Structure 1
Amino acid sequence: MIDSVMFWNEPNNKSHWDPEIDPDWSQFARMINLAGQAVAGVNPDMTRVLGGISPIDPNYITRLKEMGVLGNVDVLAVHGFPLDWNLWQINEWPAKVAEIEAVAPNHPVWVSEVGVGSFGAEEVQEFGVRRTAELLLDRVPRVYWYSLFDLPHSWEATTRHKEAEGSSYYRHFYMGLIREDGTPKPGLDAYAPHADRMGLMQWFHYEDPRLPLAVEWMKRLGVRRIRTGLSWADSFRPNALDWFDRQMEALQDFDVMATYCFTPEHLGHQPHHTSPPREPQQFADFCAAMVERYAPALPARATAGRA
């Protein structure tokens, strides 16, 4: 069910990792090194992806490289939203990818989140889909569009600085190709010709009722790849494994990149999902358990047969 795993999400963004607790990312590096080794121990063929970075910062990658992280992941990933939040233009995408390639020439770079919202105008998103496809599909091995669905207005966007973001916060609710009421935006028509090459990134909240509709839309569009999350924090909810099983079963016809992230409140230095865990081995154990459950290593005879 899973063809790749991503360790964390936007670790250089304070919405997802607390820089006050771990200002030099040494705790993050230790956690990822343990997770990378644990997953390789369960399935040596599993592709391990470093959590997509936002902002795109080659100095951050260099720092992690110095702490051995690149030896425990196979792929680097970047996120970008130049028409919504980033301080660079959409046409700079190839140059942004090249910045990371320059400091890590032995690692492929995937764009695991790219999106354009319809907050200002739906025509902007439509243009953004087309231009992104032109700039990236022949530039990097994998691209994932964020996202299929708008975030419902009754939910909360995952951010630690809602007040500081001001009006930019509300852009989080307009990133989908399909509106909250289920009707498609013009951007969906722009995306459809690229669906077999441009994957989708869609977070599914715990027991998300949108899961069956998402599968229906992805099959209709001809989507091959999806990136989603298996939340470490959610794993402590009642019947969490039942939900994970339903999610993975529903997505079994796609190539899935599973993102492992979000610290359980009771395991962090601070009771927040962005906090580094007190015991990083516990995150590694979670990653290994999920790979063992959903993407175990092939039996030796099957592996030999593939050679």
Structure 2
Amino acid sequence: MIEAVTFWNEANNKSHWDMEVDPEWRLYADMVGLAAEAVKAQAPHVTRVLGGISPIDPGFIGRMHEFGALRDMDAVGVHGFPLDWNLWPLDSWPDKVAEIEAVTPLPVWVPEVGVSSFGAEEVQDFGLRRTAGLLLGRVPRIYWYSLYDLPQAWEATTRHREAEGSSYYRHFHMGLLREDGTPKMAARQFHEYTPDMGVCQWFHFEDHRLDDAVAWLRRLGVRRVRTGLSWADWLRPDAERWFDRMVSALDGFEVTATFCFTPESEGIQPHHTSAPRDPRRFADFCVEMMRRYA
């Protein structure tokens, strides 16, 4: 069911990794290196990808090579949102990919790319068309973020919130579908880019949208889906039932699973972005996911 894994998500972004604890990413490199080695041993047929980075930083990839974190990786991931958060224009996508290709022999995936409809749905509609033209055929994998808008009652995974101004609120308008499940303008053209373009959709623990999401993915002709399996969630009561249900619902898709988020009880700091006290514990979680779902 799982045909690829990405290790962590945007570790070079302080909203997703505690750089005060690990300012040079040595602990991160150790953690994902051990995890990739363990997944390779348990499920060698599964593609192993360094979790997508944001911002796109060749120096970070070079550091991962230096620390040995890419030894058992098959690809590296980059994320980009030039119409919403990045300080570079949309047409620079090929150049940003080339910057990473210049520092690693590994293929470059784009596990997250998207455009919000915060200002206007027409902006997202244009952004999808232009992104597809720039990246389809240029990289082996691309996943549009996301299927659904983030519900207004939830929080975006960021430490900045209102300090970001409109940047924070753009998190809530990235979907092809609105929070209530009705399609936006861009959803009407998405089938033109499937199955080559996949979809990245994060599901929260016991997410009420799961079944409707699967129906929409099939309706849009999606074949490749990226989602997350949270180490922190794995320690919740009844976690096995929810994980089994989520992965079972995605049966029939080519699933890329992202392993991320430290349980408070395992972190150097009691926070989901913290490096774990023992990186082997993260590797153990990854192996357990492979045993169950690969």
TM superposition score category, shorter chain reference: over 0.9
* Inter-partner Cα distance in structure 1 for 2:159 and 2:280: 25
Is 1:95 aligned to residue 89 of structure 2? no
Calculate percent identity across the aligned residue pairs: 66
* Inter-partner Cα distance in structure 2 for 1:73 and 1:212: 32
What is aligned with 1:300? none
Secondary structure, aligned partner of 1:233: helix
* Inter-partner Cα distance in structure 2 for 1:195 and 1:271: 40
What is aligned with 2:151? 152
Q: CA deviation at 1:110?
A: 0.5
What is aligned with 1:276? 275
What is aligned with 1:132? 131
What is aligned with 1:259? 258
* Amino acid across the alignment from 1:242: R
Secondary structure, aligned partner of 2:124: helix
Is 1:63 aligned to residue 74 of structure 2? no
What is aligned with 1:33? 33
Q: CA deviation at 1:164?
A: 2.5
Structure 1 residue runs of 4 or more that deviate by more than 4 Å after TM superposition: none
Is 1:3 aligned to residue 12 of structure 2? no
What is aligned with 1:173? 172
Secondary structure, aligned partner of 1:131: helix
Q: CA deviation at 1:45?
A: 1.7
* Amino acid across the alignment from 1:60: F
* Inter-partner Cα distance in structure 2 for 1:25 and 1:33: 12
What is aligned with 1:289? 288
* Inter-partner Cα distance in structure 2 for 1:191 and 1:133: 10
* Amino acid across the alignment from 1:47: T
Cα distance per residue 1:7-50 (max 9 Å; x no partner): 00000001110111000100001101110111011011211000
Is there any run of 5+ residues in structure 1 with no aligned partner, and where? 296-307
Per mean C-alpha deviation after superposition, the further-off stretch among 156-165 and 239-248 is 156-165
Cα distance per residue 1:95-137 (max 9 Å; x no partner): 0000000000x20100000000000111000000000000000
What is aligned with 2:200? 201
* Inter-partner Cα distance in structure 2 for 1:236 and 1:214: 25
- Count of residues in correspondence between the two structures: 294
Please give the TM-score of this superposition, normalised by the length of structure 2.
Answer: 0.99
Cα distance per residue 1:206-247 (max 9 Å; x no partner): 000100001000111110000000000000111101100000
Is 1:220 aligned to residue 219 of structure 2? yes
What is aligned with 2:83? 83
Please give the TM-score of this superposition, normalised by the length of structure 1.
Answer: 0.95
* Amino acid across the alignment from 2:3: D
Cα distance per residue 1:60-109 (max 9 Å; x no partner): 000110001111211101000000000000000000000000000x2010
* Inter-partner Cα distance in structure 2 for 1:156 and 1:95: 33
* Amino acid across the alignment from 2:251: Q
Q: Root-mean-square deviation (CA), in Å?
A: 0.7
What is aligned with 1:118? 117
* Inter-partner Cα distance in structure 2 for 1:182 and 1:34: 40
* Amino acid across the alignment from 1:129: L
* Amino acid across the alignment from 1:270: Q
The answer on whether the counterparts of 1:32 and 1:72 sit within 8 Å (CA) in structure 2 is no
Is 1:13 aligned to residue 13 of structure 2? yes
* Inter-partner Cα distance in structure 1 for 2:41 and 2:270: 30
* Inter-partner Cα distance in structure 2 for 1:72 and 1:15: 26
